Structure 1
Amino acid sequence: MHINVICYLRVSTADQESGLGTQEEVIRQKIKSVGYRHIIETFIDEEVSGDSHVEERPGFKKMLEFIRTYNKNNAGDPIREVWVQTRDRISRQVDMLGYATVILRSFGVEIRATEESQEQLVTRIYDILGEEELKKYREKRKYGIKRRIGEQKIMSRPPLGYKNENGKLVVDEEMRPKLIEIFQMFEDNATMSTISNKFGIPRSTLAYMRKNPIYRTGEYFWKGKVVYKVEPVIKPGDIQERDDDEFFS
């Protein structure tokens, strides 16, 4: 029986006695003394201030994505802890440390420090402040999404056949003829395999295109709702509708 763990190291330009090598050695020695731990991966942020937002750090962001993917694919034996030399390696700001704690706990992961004993006394304070910080972050993100929708800005990666132009969805005119041909093949009941082989497009992408109304009506969906309209790829007259009577005659 073991617990899967991640090591997180951070150094800023001001750090002198807590370099990466020192941090990693102290963490590994502590993990070895505690026992029953298996280190899966180590993530590093170099020349990053302890006052910076954790989700703006390259190493921390990669760590979150790694944990999210790993725990999704290994639900029976997930990562359960992130180890640091001291909690200020996560952040020197109490509210940001609490925020990171809440984010990691949403993945079922706890922060562990080699100097754990004295810091356990203030863990609950971090939790409370972290929840407030997370609430503020979500409100800010909600406002940002609402503003982007109001400005008809793109919310995610453009669908095939569209491109991002100054933050807005526009039709990729070079792709339009190919898209029209694909939708004509949809209309003619060509198989997904036939279309996929002809254009080199995965069948999953083709299935998404077929059911996405943006191509025919320009309706852009976000979270299951139409939030605005853009120019459709398929215009009236582009597709010749199939005549079933003629087909079966």
Structure 2
Amino acid sequence: MDNNKKICGLYLRVSTEDQAREGFSLPEQKQRLEDFCKYKGYIIKDYYEDAGISAKTGNYRPEFERLKEDIKSKKINTIVAFKLDRITRSIYDWEELITFLDENAAYLDCANDEINTTTANGKMISRLLMSVSQNEIERTSERTKVGLSGAIKQGHIPHQAPLGYKHENKKLVIDYTTKDVVERIFKLYHDGLSYQKISTLFNKEEVLGKTNWRDSSITAILTNEIYKGDFVHGKRTKSPTYYENVVEPIVSKEMWEECQVQKKKNLKVIKEL
């Protein structure tokens, strides 16, 4: 391949959020990039489209990976994209890509950002734009967290309503048609019945018309902080956030805590058997 000729791969990407925010669909990107290549005298070798995929770090983009393989095999020597954030929004990923392009004598040209990695100045400008882009992502994340926190404190719980509750005007409120079932589960467990005995009893009685009550469903209810009026956001993450008194409780905090103590005692007995 003649390295003096720019043999291009047109990279097109749009996520649902991008299209809603910017309005640039894949066909629109494609048309603009074709016009850009015609103006620059670039030869278009192939098209690479990742639809509905974010450029966040860790997201697998099959067409972008195919594009990189074609660069390695010298089928193309230039990536043409609409904007830098079509490629990535991470400074770390961008530095990796610059290194990859350098190692393979390839380049990146962005139609809308006027970025060209063939020069030192072009690389410097790309790093500045990437820093601004990442800063905006981090600020947006902070604003989202603040907004979510405020909503949760107002009782807007971003989860499916658990048994005993229902969503009303986006707020989680007590469902009085099933509240008694939850209260009974806590009382039975507090009085000494195991998960298994409670689920067996409920199946026998066909509580709520169900015969598929399981130990796990009883456990999930007894360990859910929402029933004492609290909520844990990101419970399975490394940094969960605890919110107190965000909804009307079905059981007292004392009852809930005593059931957790009972749970630990039961586990200790099982381990000793």
Structure label with greater radius of gyration: 2
Per-residue CA distance 1:64-85 (angstroms, 9 max, x = gap): 7xx67xxxxxxxxxx6976176
- Counterpart of 2:229 in structure 1: which amino acid? G
The answer for the alignment partner of 1:141 in structure 2 is 144
Per-residue CA distance 1:134-185 (angstroms, 9 max, x = gap): 2221221132123314433224333332222212111122222322332233
Q: Using a 3 Å threshold, how does the CA distance of structure 1 residues 17 and 144 change in structure 2: closer, same or farther? A: closer
The answer for the alignment partner of 1:219 in structure 2 is 230
* Whole-angstrom CA distance in 2 between matches of 1:17 and 1:93: 11
Q: Does residue 1:12 correspond to 2:58, yes or no? A: no
Per-residue CA distance 1:106-134 (angstroms, 9 max, x = gap): xxx97999x98212834634542332122
More relative contact order, 1 or 2 (CA 8 Å, 6+ apart): 1
Q: Does residue 1:117 correspond to 2:115, yes or no? A: no
The answer for the alignment partner of 1:72 in structure 2 is none
- Counterpart of 1:137 in structure 2: which amino acid? T
Q: Using a 3 Å threshold, how does the CA distance of structure 1 residues 104 and 183 change in structure 2: closer, same or farther? A: farther
Kindly indicate whether the alpha-carbon contact (under 8 Å) linking 2:230 and 2:242 is maintained by their aligned counterparts in 1. Answer: no
- Counterpart of 2:147 in structure 1: which amino acid? G
Identity %: 21
- Write out aligned runs for 1:1-249 (5 A): 12-14=26-28, 15-16=30-31, 26-27=47-48, 45=51, 59-60=52-53, 83=64, 86=79, 88=81, 92-94=82-84, 96-97=85-86, 100-102=88-90, 117-119=106-108, 121=117, 122=123, 124-125=127-128, 127-196=130-199, 198=203, 200-215=212-227, 217-222=228-233, 223-234=240-251
Using the size of structure 2 for normalisation, the TM-score is 0.47
- Counterpart of 1:181 in structure 2: which amino acid? R
- Aligned-partner SS, 2:53: helix
- Aligned-partner SS, 2:184: helix
Kindly indicate whether the alpha-carbon contact (under 8 Å) linking 1:97 and 1:130 is maintained by their aligned counterparts in 2. Answer: no
Per-residue CA distance 1:10-47 (angstroms, 9 max, x = gap): 5534345989xxx9x655xxxxxxxxxxxxxxx853xx
User: Which ranges in structure 1 are unaligned for 5 or more consecutive residues?
Assistant: 1-6, 28-42, 46-58, 69-78, 242-249
Using the size of structure 1 for normalisation, the TM-score is 0.51
The answer for the alignment partner of 1:35 in structure 2 is none
- Counterpart of 2:250 in structure 1: which amino acid? V
Per-residue CA distance 1:217-244 (angstroms, 9 max, x = gap): 32334434334332222479x9xx9xxx
* Whole-angstrom CA distance in 1 between matches of 2:141 and 2:250: 34
* Whole-angstrom CA distance in 2 between matches of 1:209 and 1:220: 13
- Aligned-partner SS, 2:107: helix
Kindly indicate whether the alpha-carbon contact (under 8 Å) linking 2:165 and 2:173 is maintained by their aligned counterparts in 1. Answer: yes
* Whole-angstrom CA distance in 2 between matches of 1:156 and 1:212: 12
Q: Using a 3 Å threshold, how does the CA distance of structure 1 residues 228 and 191 change in structure 2: closer, same or farther? A: closer
C-alpha RMSD of the superposition: 4.7
Q: Using a 3 Å threshold, how does the CA distance of structure 1 residues 16 and 165 change in structure 2: closer, same or farther? A: same
- Aligned-partner SS, 2:245: strand
Kindly indicate whether the alpha-carbon contact (under 8 Å) linking 2:229 and 2:244 is maintained by their aligned counterparts in 1. Answer: no
- Aligned-partner SS, 1:60: coil
- Aligned-partner SS, 1:159: coil
